């Protein structure tokens, strides 16, 4: 009986993977709505993951960009949340509303509204057109700024009262840096740390993985902010990082000469997709090792 080979390439899974609780809730609520037989609409992608979008489409869920596109049935508010005006429009049109907004996003919305009500100029760390940030802007009152880079917040004017919140998927170091800068330009400052702790844990797991391997494959939707941040984090640590959405995108040349490769998924990447990628990487890695 032949002894197992010890030189085959290993695939190391990060310690944090699978759906975060906010994504899990949003997907489950949408699937449950689809099972009622009613016409179900997701107001934008319920989560930023193509696999989940296809799964829901197969169950008859229609993605719409505007509430007016839903003539009847159910509208599911996605995990990223919406501005209050959109929620009101759903109600005014007499549509059934299922709120799948992540609880941490709801928390950020409440804090944003509190800052605006207390007369603070709201500063939002985030990507201006990201759906979560679009929702936050709806709670920020008449005076707010959205900034994403040091160059952008370096152009902020001096202000009397500044309140700071963040898109949940922003890196914690960026939030800390923004707060430090605002302390130099505002007479009074109030800060609510709304960076998602689950996202932070995922980023820490990616950093740990980067300490073990030279190449990391990151699985998730290309429009997923938290997934893109995992890629950026790996590259900042000098690692080769590849962002894919599915197993068929893996390339054998990424694996050549590697004894081990790291694998991590974004917060909206299902485990079955991640395991498919793992199998594909193992198969290509074994071929590469055997050929060598």
Whether the per-residue pLDDT at 132 is higher than 80: the answer is yes
Rounded mean pLDDT, 86-115? 96
Full set of structural domains in the chain with CATH: 10-18+198-291 (3.40.1010.20), 21-101 (3.40.50.11270), 104-195 (3.40.1010.20)
Token pair, residue 114, equals: 């509190």
pLDDT in tens, 222-279: 989 899 999 999 999 999 999 999 999 999 999 998 999 999 999 999 999 999 999 9
Give the model's pLDDT for residue 258. 92
The pLDDT confidence band at residue 287, using thresholds 50, 70 and 90, is low
The pLDDT confidence band at residue 93, using thresholds 50, 70 and 90, is very high
What average pLDDT does the structure give for the chain? Answer: 92
Please count the CA atoms within 13 angstroms of the CA of 91 that sit on its side-chain side.
6
Rounded mean pLDDT, 26-46? 93
Give the model's pLDDT for residue 6. 41
Whether the per-residue pLDDT at 286 is higher than 70: the answer is no
Query: 105-141 as b/e, with b when 16 or more CB fall inside 10 Å?
Result: beebbebbbbbbeeebbbbbbbbeebbbbbbbbbbbb
Distances (CA, A) of 222 to 123, 186, 247: 26, 36, 14
What is the C-alpha separation between 215 and 12, in angstroms, rounded?
Answer: 10
pLDDT in tens, 43-68: 988 888 888 888 999 999 999 999 99
Catalytic residue among 16, 132, 245, 258, which? Answer: 132
Token pair, residue 41, equals: 């609409």
Whether the per-residue pLDDT at 165 is higher than 90: the answer is yes
Give the model's pLDDT for residue 7. 56
132 included as an active-site residue: yes
Question: Cα-flanking dihedrals φ and ψ of residue 127, to 5°?
Answer: -85, 120
According to DSSP, the β-strands at 215-219 and 260-265 are parallel
Rounded mean pLDDT, 137-161? 96
The DSSP code sequence of the chain is: -PPPPS-SPEEEEPSS-S--HHHHHHHHHHHHHHTTTS-EEEES-SSS-HHHHHHHHHTT-EEESSGGG--SSEEEEPTT---HHHHHHHHHTT-EEEE---HHHHHHHHHHHHHHHTTPEEEEES-TTSHHHHHHHTTS-S-EEEE-SHHHHHTPPPEEEEEEEE-TTS-HHHHHHHHHHHHHHEEEEEE-----HHHHHHHHHHHHHHTT-SEEEEES-TT-HHHHHHHHHHHHTT-EEEEESSGGG--GGGTTT-SEEEEEE-TT--HHHHHHHHHHHHHHHHHHHHH-
What is the percent of the chain where pLDDT is above 70? 95
Whether the per-residue pLDDT at 289 is higher than 70: the answer is no
Rounded mean pLDDT, 137-152? 96
């Amino acid at each position: 009986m032949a002894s197992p080979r010890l030189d085959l390439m290993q695939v190391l899974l990060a310690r944090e993977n699978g759906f975060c609780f906010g994504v899990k809730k949003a997907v489950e609520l949408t699937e449950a709505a689809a099972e009622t037989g009613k016409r179900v609409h997701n107001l934008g992608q319920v989560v930023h993951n193509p696999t989940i979008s296809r799964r829901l489409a197969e169950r008859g869920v229609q993605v719409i960009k505007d509430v007016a596109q839903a003539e009847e049935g159910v509208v599911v508010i996605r995990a990223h949340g919406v501005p209050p005006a959109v929620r009101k429009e759903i109600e005014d049109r007499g549509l059934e509303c299922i709120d799948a907004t992540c609880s941490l996003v709801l928390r950020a919305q409440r804090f944003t509204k509190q800052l605006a009500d207390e007369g603070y100029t709201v500063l939002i760390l985030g990507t201006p057109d990201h759906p979560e940030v679009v929702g936050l802007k709806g709670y920020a009152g008449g005076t707010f700024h959205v900034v994403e880079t040091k160059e952008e917040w370096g152009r902020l004017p001096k202000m009397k009262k500044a309140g700071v919140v963040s898109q949940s998927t922003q890196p914690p170091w960026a939030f800390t840096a923004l707060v430090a800068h605002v302390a130099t330009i505002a007479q009074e400052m109030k800060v609510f740390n709304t960076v998602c702790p689950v996202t932070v844990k995922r980023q820490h797991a990616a950093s740990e993985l980067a300490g073990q391997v030279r190449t990391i494959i990151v699985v998730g939707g290309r429009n997923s902010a938290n997934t893109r941040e995992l890629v950026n984090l790996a590259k900042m640590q000098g690692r080769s990082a590849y962002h894919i959405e599915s197993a068929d995108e893996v390339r054998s040349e990424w694996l050549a000469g590697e004894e081990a490769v790291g694998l991590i998924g974004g917060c909206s990447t299902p485990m079955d997709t991640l395991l498919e990628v793992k199998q594909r990487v193992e198969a290509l890695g074994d071929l590469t090792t055997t050929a060598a």
